[in-house]
Amino acid sequence: MPSSCRIAIVGGGLAGLAVAHALRTFGIKAEVFEAAPALGEIGAAVNVSPQAVKALQAIDLGDKIAAVATASPGIYTRNMQTGEFLEFNDRRKNAARYGAPYYTFHRADLLDALASGLDDSAIHLGHRLIGLEERADGIILAFANGARVEAEIVIGADGVRSVVRQALYGNDNPSYTGQMVWRALLKGADVPQDVLEPTGHIQWVGPGCHLLAYYIRGEALVNIVTQEDTDKWVEEGWSTRGDPDEMRASFPNPEPRLEKLLSLVTECSKWGLFTRPLTQNWGRGRIELIGDAAHAMLPNAGQGACQAFEDAYILARWLEACRDPAEAFANFRRIRIPRVHGVQRLSFSNARFKHMRDSAAQRESIAAGARSVHGNSDWVWGYDPVTGWDKEPFVPTAYAA
Ligand SMILES: Cc1cc2nc3c(=O)[nH]c(=O)nc-3n(C[C@H](O)[C@H](O)[C@H](O)COP(=O)(O)OP(=O)(O)OC[C@H]3O[C@@H](n4cnc5c(N)ncnc54)[C@H](O)[C@@H]3O)c2cc1C
């Protein structure tokens, strides 16, 4: 373990490992400090949209992620109680339209791909950051295991409860959204095929809630993830064990296919959703926040990790381009903040529309082409971080400040 290093990345989750990989691609060495005793992702699946796939391809991970990805044909949305078809969000032509496919992953497989090729000796496990001190010539990091490391630059990728953020901005806690998720993983072979017909990637929407079910690892597993407005307080963390009967009771009067799917759940977890309000506080001087530490958002545009992958690529480009890291970080924030704020607004607007209590009005809106349950994602997926890393991003008026 070094007592000093040029770049310290705090957090070895999706954001931290992606930026370590991106820096490595541009020949920049960094050390990762992760609190957990082993690298690993709890939770089941994650979707990665085309522009974020491009960011990963640009850091030489294209083949590795393709090997463990399932290419989603598209999401078929139904009403939760009646089973009525609402819309099909076709993703089969994404590669032609956006230049890269839309993938779903088991989170552990994606994390493994991000970790591959990184030097093990530069990943320091069991290092929980407890404080940092900014000095004129560097930053001193203090860890719970007693280690102290002096770094020239710090990248805070330590998630929604970021200690790096807290050290910079004080007790700036994320806020509970009043929404919770249930998650369950089933064996693909146990789920009758008609439940997930016709695309294997189905969404049910109902008043104040929705539920997604889709294959990952080919058709080996079915991931179920839900979201509902709730008055109950739920802890943050994938690992809070849930009661399958309570999960079923959250979706009253389900149509027969959904009822069948829910009846198969024997184990589940639940999680309260915490987010961060839109903020310009993404770091200062030689310290930069990325991923959920900077911009934890509602999952309703499927973009939290995707934006972290864009962060990783673009941050590495700026660090390669500027001799002064403070200048690199300032440029990074100038390019990233308007776009990410737009994506945060999109996620929020999608959540409100998906959870509309007036199902008839929701259906009419979709049928009239006024809105999709997925919102307008074209500007998000059509972005190219490789050509856009140094340009002011386009954000449609509806999602701009
Ligand atoms: C229900 C749900 C579904 C989602 N689906 C999608 C999706 O389909 N697509 C998508 O793009 N996004 C999705 N997201 C969002 C995505 O999961 C997150 O945005 C992403 O995991 C954030 O990665 P991160 O590395 O920034 O943070 P984290 O994954 O939280 O990783 C932070 C890492 O830092 C470590 N750490 C924490 N504190 C310290 C410390 N003090 N010292 C050292 N290490 C520390 C942690 O152990 C962890 O390894 C979803 C989120 C939810 C809740």
Any idea what DSSP says for residue 191?
A: S
Beta bridge partners of 180: 228, 272
Whole-angstrom distance, CA of residue 387 vs CA of residue 37? 37
Q: Is there a catalytic annotation at residue 214?
A: yes
Exactly one of 98, 103, 214, 399 is catalytic; which is it? 214
How far lies 155's CA from each of 60, 86, 173, 384, in Å?
A: 21, 43, 19, 23
**What separation in Å is there between the alpha carbon of 71 and the centre of ligand 1?**
22
- How many beta carbons lie within 10 A of that of residue 146, not counting itself? 6
Backbone angles phi, psi at 219, to 5 degrees: -120, 20
Residue 22 located in a structural domain: yes
- CB–CB of 288/315 below 8 Å? yes
Do 372 and 226 touch, CB atoms closer than 8 A?
A: no
Kindly state whether residue 122 falls inside one of the protein's structural domains: yes
Ligand 1 and 308: CB distance under 6 A: yes
Instruction: State the greatest distance between any 2 C-alpha atoms of the chain, in Å, as a whole number.
Output: 64
Q: Is residue 289 part of a domain?
A: yes
Asked whether residue 239 is domain-assigned, the answer is no
CB neighbour burial string for 48-78, b if at least 16 within 10 angstroms, e if fewer: bbbbbbbbbbbbebeebbeebbbebbbbbbb
pTM over 0.85: yes
Q: Name the residue type at position 90.
A: D
Tally the residues of the chain: 401
Residue whose CB lies within 8 A of the most ligand 1 atoms, among 162, 292, 309, for a mutation test: 292
224 domain residue, yes or no: no
Structure tokens at 76: 């078929």
Please give the torsion angle defined by the CA atoms of residues 387, 392, 393 and 398, in that order, rounded to the nearest 10 degrees. Answer: -170
Question: Which CATH number fits the domain that encloses residue 371?
Answer: 3.50.50.60
Q: Is 159 in the pocket of ligand 1 (CB under 6 A)?
A: yes
Rg (CA), the chain: 21
Which position has the token pair 């089933």?
186
Q: What is the C-alpha to C-alpha distance for residues 25 and 19, in angstroms, rounded to an integer? A: 10
In a domain, 93, yes or no: no
Residue (of 364, 361, 287) closest to 328 by Cα position: 287
**How many of the other CB atoms lie within 10 Å of CB of 345?**
20
Domain assignment of residue 129, yes or no: yes
Number of compact structural domains in the chain: 1
Task: Kindly state whether residue 347 falls inside one of the protein's structural domains.
Answer: yes
Distance, CA of 259 to CA of 251 (rounded, Å): 9
Ligand 1 centroid distance, CA of 228 (Å) = 20
Q: Calculate the CA dihedral of residues 310, 7, 113, 317 and round it to 10 degrees.
A: 30
Return the closest-CA partner of residue 45 out of 79, 20, 70, 75: 70
Omega before residue 174 within 30° of 0, cis: no
Q: Would you give per-residue pLDDT tens digits along the chain (401 residues)?
A: 678 889 999 999 999 999 999 999 999 999 999 999 999 877 689 999 999 999 999 999 999 999 999 998 899 999 999 999 999 998 888 888 999 999 999 999 999 999 999 999 999 999 999 999 999 889 999 999 999 999 999 999 999 999 999 999 997 788 888 999 999 999 999 999 899 999 999 999 999 999 999 999 999 999 999 999 988 767 666 567 899 999 999 999 999 999 999 999 999 999 889 888 899 999 999 999 999 999 999 999 999 999 999 999 999 999 999 999 999 999 999 999 999 999 999 999 999 999 999 889 999 999 888 888 888 899 999 999 999 999 999 999 999 98
Ligand 1 atom 41: residue of nearest CA? 129
Residue nearest to atom 29 of ligand 1 (CA): 13
Q: What range does the domain containing 379 cover?
A: 4-41+109-174+278-399
